């Protein structure tokens, strides 16, 4: 009987790191390093250790390790809504990227008004996350800081101006992913203008969303710069249903528009369906439609939406970089990453 099959038949139960080290003829430290994706170790050595660890049914206890190392390998993610299309795609890509870096994703949902239950924040702290990413700016750095021991929160931020505000250090230490919306919006308005649209309506997102406010402010500025009248604002909430109803109101009660700029793609689908199925209008011949996000559904033939793209892969890479930079430099001043947007042209403007 060789060593492998012997080990495979070992009774279930937790082996110790020492047992693994002895069997692999490596040091106890090497075993630790093998389980830390960030520690350097020869690939063959890591492979051997992991193989033997598996045979012996050994895994490091993360709760015990967290107390010693101070690292939990958990990344808290605060989102308002997992099942919104954009966010589910972002959480999916982020979870994959974090797993590859040796982190697990710990999900927290905000209340519907984007605030966060303080008991839940206290809970979050109890898990001692290595990092926390806030996808809404409504949970303020000052609030989060009260509930974090060592994690420096990362905010996804949508500046109003075309530039990231350098060195803005409101409240306690935090890192930032700045998403500049100006370029994509400017390209969209130029395209609409090029096809003769003048009266452009903005179908807003949730009133509580800072991303939607920034989007509206940027649109107003771009339209003014281009000599267009200010947008009519139809109140939305990022949902298909509200967009559908708001579009009917806009065209039946209000004065309509040459084009509708929706705060996200899903709302743009609601706009299109109301225009076509309820109002008997053609897209893009009668009314042009632009969305925001470029979710996978924007390719679907029923919509084939022209939209302002946030590059998901770039976003995820930037977030992972921010986490690792911060863990390597716990005391450094706030880090920033900045991403741009661009227009993806499909069939709803033209």
Rounded distance, CA 264 to CA 348, Å? 14
Q: Candidates 25-33, 83-91, 154-162, 219-227 — which segment interacts with its own copies by CB under 8 A? A: 83-91
Helix axes 17-24, 43-55, angle to 10 degrees: 120
Size of the site for its own copies (CB under 8 A): 70
What is the C-alpha to C-alpha distance for residues 82 and 107, in angstroms, rounded to an integer?
A: 9
Stretch that binds its own copies, among 145-153, 200-208, 251-259, 330-338 (CB under 8 A): 145-153
CA pair distance 307, 304, nearest whole angstrom? 9
**157: helix, coil or strand?**
strand
Closest CA to 262 of 279, 229, 239, 230: 239
For its own copies, the closer of residues 205 and 270 by Cβ is 270
* Residue 301, phi then psi, degrees to nearest 5: -60, -30
The binder of its own copies chosen from 10, 28, 126, 195 (CB under 8 A):
126
Pairing of strands 336-344, 200-203: unpaired
Out of 88, 115, 217, 336, name the contact with its own copies by CB under 8 A. Answer: 88
Q: Considering only 22-30, 116-124, 160-168, 182-190, which stretch makes contact with its own copies by CB under 8 A?
A: 116-124
Residue 244 engages its own copies in binding (rule: CB under 8 A) = yes
| CB 225 within 8 Å of CB 255 | no
| Residue in 6, 113, 118, 170 binding its own copies, rule: CB under 8 A | 118
Q: How far is the CB of 60 from its own copies (least distance, A)?
A: 6
Residue 42 in the binding site for its own copies (CB under 8 A): no
By the 8 A CB rule, do 270 and 244 touch?
A: yes
Given the rule CB under 8 A, which of 95-103, 156-164, 230-238, 334-342 is the region that contacts its own copies?
95-103
Task: Check if the beta carbon of residue 96 is closer than 8 Å to that of residue 319.
Answer: no
Does residue number 302 form part of the binding site for its own copies (CB under 8 A)?
A: yes
CB atoms within 10 A of CB 180: 20
1 touching its own copies, by CB under 8 A: no
249 belongs to the binding site for its own copies (CB under 8 A): no
CA gyration radius, the chain: 25
Site residues (CB under 8 A) for its own copies?
Answer: 12, 14, 35, 50, 53-54, 57, 59-67, 72-74, 81-83, 85, 88-89, 91-93, 95-96, 99, 102, 104-109, 118-120, 122-128, 145-147, 149, 240-241, 244, 269-270, 272-274, 276-278, 296-297, 299-303
């Amino acid at each position: 009987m060789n060593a492998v099959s012997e080990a495979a038949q070992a009774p279930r139960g937790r082996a110790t790191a020492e047992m693994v080290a002895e069997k692999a003829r490596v040091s106890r430290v090497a075993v630790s390093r093998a389980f830390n994706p960030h520690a350097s170790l020869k690939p063959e050595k890591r492979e051997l250790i992991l193989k033997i660890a598996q045979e012996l049914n050994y895994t490091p206890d993360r709760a015990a390790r967290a107390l010693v190392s101070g690292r939990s390998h958990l990344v808290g993610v605060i989102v308002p809504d997992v099942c919104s299309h954009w966010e589910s795609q972002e959480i999916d890509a982020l979870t994959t990227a974090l797993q590859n870096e040796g982190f697990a994703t710990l999900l927290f949902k905000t209340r519907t008004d984007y605030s966060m239950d303080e008991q839940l924040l206290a809970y979050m702290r109890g898990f001692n996350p290595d990092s926390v990413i806030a996808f809404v700016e409504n949970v303020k750095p000052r609030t989060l800081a009260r509930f974090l021991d060592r994690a420096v929160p990362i905010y996804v931020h949508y500046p109003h101006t075309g530039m990231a505000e350098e060195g803005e250090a409101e409240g306690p230490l935090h890192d930032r992913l700045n998403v500049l919306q100006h370029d994509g919006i400017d390209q969209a308005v130029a395209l609409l203008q090029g096809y003769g649209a003048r009266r452009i309506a903005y179908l807003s997102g949730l009133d509580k969303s800072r991303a939607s406010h920034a989007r509206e402010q940027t649109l107003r500025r771009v339209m003014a710069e281009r000599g267009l009248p200010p947008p009519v604002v139809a109140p939305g909430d990022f949902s298909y249903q509200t967009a559908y109803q708001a579009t009917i109101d806009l065209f039946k009660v209000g004065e309509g528009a040459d084009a509708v700029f929706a705060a996200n793609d899903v709302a743009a689908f609601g706009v299109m369906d109301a225009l076509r199925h309820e109002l008997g209008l053609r897209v893009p011949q009668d009314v042009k439609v632009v969305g925001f996000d470029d979710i996978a559904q924007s390719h679907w033939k029923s919509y084939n939406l022209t939209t302002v793209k946030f590059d998901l892969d770039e976003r995820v890479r930037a977030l992972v970089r921010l986490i690792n930079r911060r863990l390597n430099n716990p005391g450094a001043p706030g880090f920033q990453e900045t991403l741009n947007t661009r227009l993806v042209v499909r069939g709803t403007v033209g």
